[in-house]
Chains A and B, each alone.
Chain A
Amino acid sequence: MVKYLLKRFARSILTLVIIISVVFILLRLMPIEGYFQNYEKLTNEQIQAGIHNMGLDKPVLIQLKDFFIQLLHGDLGTSRIYRANVPITEILASKIPISLQLGGIALVISLIIGLPLGSLMARSKGKFWDKFGTAFIVFVQAVPAAVYFLFIQIFGNEWFGFSMLFSKDNYSTWIMPILSMAIGNTAYYAMWIRRYMVDESNKDYVKLAKAKGVSDNKIMMKHVFRNAFVPMIQYLPTSFLNSIVGSIYVESLYSIPGMGGLLVDVVKRQDNTMVQAIVIVFACVGILGLMLGDLLMALIDPRISLNKKGGAR
């Protein structure tokens, strides 16, 4: 198992390195304006000096090497346009907490609602709850997030009078953003747990449990749900990712000062170093999530971890 973990880890690192390199190189294709505030006002010499200072005139591969060294020191670079000459790590540090908080709460809510909904759907297959849940899932999965976020905004605002402007202290403004971030994952979890539960219900061991006299309800909860949940675990970290990406949207909709909103801003302003840094951070989180998912699976499914310890065969 340790071998497996190491391999997985190495692969993640490799992926990360490749992504960073690709992002870095691609961004070198971006126009130079992305590195200067007030580009139009600068003279040619100032521009040349700036380019030299930032090391942009060196060959790309050397720049890449330097960048990796920089990264290893924990330096993500400096913003040029968004907040001129401020180290990016500082900027991010101020934005991350709020994103994490909102994202975390949204994740918990989507689990609390999504899992029971999905299992209810599996148990009442074909009947009301299944149909209702399916309609919900179809809507959320098919329609672009942008659209149902708007619905949430409109309804929240009209019916409940929630403000569309986020303010950290006013908890009523937390509701719509969290709801928006949670809804996608709720549908996702409900769909998958239902699918897994239905699959498990058809297996032989369920028949045996029935034959030994376990009631249908108990079978669903103690055997089917528990077994169906195990493969779900690999999705947990990934959907945390989804909520991060979703947060890009939600944060700008509600003017939340978080990571996602930041990305939108810097893209609009074409601050290259910031775009690069944020993309890298998101990629890291993404890859980390996938790896965690695999790790959790290996830990929880006894078939995987115990295979290495000699079982009677």
Chain B
Amino acid sequence: MEKEVALSVKNLNVKFNLRGKILHAIRDISLEVYKGESLAIVGESGSGKSVFTKTFIGLLDKNGWIDSGEILYGDKNLAAFKTEKEWLTIRGKEIAMVLQDPMTSLNPLKTIGAQIGEAIEMHRGLKGAACKAAVLEILQDVGITEPERRYKQYPHEFSGGMRQRVVIAIAVACKPKTLICDEPTTALDVTIQAQILDLLKNLKKKYDLTTIYITHDLGVVANVADRIAVMYAGDIVEYGTSEEVFYDPKHPYTWALLSSLPQLGKKGEDLYSIKGTPPNLFNEIHGDAFAPRNPKALKIDFIERPPLFEVTPTHKVRSWLMDPRAPKVEPPEHIKELRKMGGKATWQ
């Protein structure tokens, strides 16, 4: 399969200034996003997933900055953007974002027709009746019934799921090439989640989008992702295709993450949880950030950062366990069982 690169991140470092102290939020990440794929970035809260994607459209908070690295998009280096004008060529038009909380993402005092129309007017240059027609079309695309009536309504007249559809509509209205979805279903009811994910999948197909999902919910990941990147403490510790990461994970953190799925537990057993807490990113981290919480850590894990080891051309792991010199460590039992479950796994 032809794999054209849509976005390429090279050695990205992002820092924040918090009360005078420097927080190293993204620690030297390199990743490639391929055209037309669905990439999921998984990690716990605070791992840096949102920050990572915010750098793609220049939405970093005022006290944050890109310390070093490149973000190559087409022929541009997004990390080097300094002016708003430069960002206006990317935001919406090329890369659009769906934010997390639909309850607050919409302007409460504007009709949703106006809000979607704003995007259309800006990026497609349509005005008046043509614009309204386009808005109605998009409303239908995202599955909002009675678009004519809804066009005139305000956000507070919509339920959470419908608001998220509107937010998605706004993102898609710009006809972007890449769509970033930041925890699109976290704030929604379980029943609505599936609908929204289906919608996103359909839109992806229809508009040939490259989608990046940010989530801490492995169920979502299983549903939508072609490739998965696992983030921990500002670094990507493992990435590969969905099958590879779910059925053949290699990094102890991925093991731990997958082990936390209640489905894998046996009735009557304690639920598995990872002991300890993520490290403090104000401090400099030596070696593998996950080492203090890893019962199977090697001494070198505390000293030097592991390089990326290749398992298959598409599956890379940043763990010393992959080094030929390291002792063989078997993944926990239930991880092995995952392999057996294979195509029968349902995550929802």
A residues lining the B interface (CB < 8 Å): 203-205, 207-216, 222-223, 226-227, 230, 301-303, 306-307, 311-313
B154 touches A211 (CB 8 A): no
Contact of A230 among B57, B59, B109, B156 (CB under 8 A): B109
* New contact pairs (15) apart from A208-B105, A303-B154, CB-CB < 8 Å: A204-B99, A204-B101, A204-B104, A205-B106, A210-B59, A211-B99, A211-B171, A212-B170, A215-B88, A227-B108, A230-B109, A303-B108, A303-B156, A306-B156, A312-B162
Contact of B91 among A212, A230, A303, A306 (CB under 8 A): A212
Residues of the B chain whose Cβ atoms lie less than 8 Å from the Cβ of A216: 84
Given contacts A204-B99, A204-B101, A207-B59, contact A214 B84 (CB under 8 A): no
B104 touches A203 (CB 8 A): yes
A302 touches B91 (CB 8 A): no
Minimum Cβ distance to chain A for residue B184 (Å): 13
A209 touches B157 (CB 8 A): no
Given contacts A205-B106, A208-B167, A312-B162, contact A213 B157 (CB under 8 A): no
Given contacts A213-B119, A213-B122, contact A204 B105 (CB under 8 A): yes
Complex Cα spacing A213 to B174, Å: 9
Complex Cα spacing A306 to B111, Å: 12
Contact of A213 among B99, B123, B159 (CB under 8 A): B123
Residues of the B chain whose Cβ atoms lie less than 8 Å from the Cβ of A214: 118, 122
Q: Is B225 an interface residue (CB 8 A)?
A: no
Digit string of B35-75 for contact with A (CB within 8 Å is 1, else 0)?
Answer: 00000000000000000000001010000000000000000
Q: How large is the interface on B (under 10, 10 to 19, 20 to 34, 35 or more residues)?
A: 20 to 34
> Closest residue of chain A to B61, judged by CB?
A207
Complex Cα spacing A226 to B170, Å: 20
Given contacts A306-B154, A313-B159, contact A213 B88 (CB under 8 A): yes
B107 touches A205 (CB 8 A): yes
B residues lining the A interface (CB < 8 Å): 57, 59, 84, 88, 91-93, 96-97, 99, 101, 104-110, 118-119, 122-123, 153-154, 156-159, 162, 167, 170-171, 174
Complex Cα spacing A311 to B110, Å: 15
Complex Cα spacing A312 to B174, Å: 27
List the 10 closest A-B pairs by CB distance, nearest first.
Answer: A213-B92, A311-B157, A204-B104, A213-B91, A211-B97, A212-B92, A205-B107, A208-B105, A302-B154, A212-B119
Residues of the A chain whose Cβ atoms lie less than 8 Å from the Cβ of B97: 208, 211
Residues of the A chain whose Cβ atoms lie less than 8 Å from the Cβ of B153: 311-312
Residues of the A chain whose Cβ atoms lie less than 8 Å from the Cβ of B92: 211-213
Minimum Cβ distance to chain B for residue A86 (Å): 51
Minimum Cβ distance to chain B for residue A154 (Å): 44
- Residue in A207, A216, A307 with the greatest tally of chain B CB atoms within 10 Å: A207
B174 touches A212 (CB 8 A): yes
Residues of the B chain whose Cβ atoms lie less than 8 Å from the Cβ of A226: 109
B59 touches A211 (CB 8 A): yes
> Closest residue of chain B to A300, judged by CB?
B109
- Residue in B92, B106, B107 with the greatest tally of chain A CB atoms within 10 Å: B107
Residues of the A chain whose Cβ atoms lie less than 8 Å from the Cβ of B105: 204-205, 207-208
Complex Cα spacing A223 to B97, Å: 19
Residues of the A chain whose Cβ atoms lie less than 8 Å from the Cβ of B93: 213
Residues of the B chain whose Cβ atoms lie less than 8 Å from the Cβ of A213: 88, 91-93, 119, 122-123, 174
B104 touches A205 (CB 8 A): yes
Residues of the A chain whose Cβ atoms lie less than 8 Å from the Cβ of B162: 312
B108 touches A205 (CB 8 A): yes
> Closest residue of chain B to A303, judged by CB?
B156
A311 touches B156 (CB 8 A): yes
Complex Cα spacing A301 to B109, Å: 7
Residues of the B chain whose Cβ atoms lie less than 8 Å from the Cβ of A312: 153, 157-159, 162
Minimum Cβ distance to chain A for residue B149 (Å): 10
A211 touches B159 (CB 8 A): no
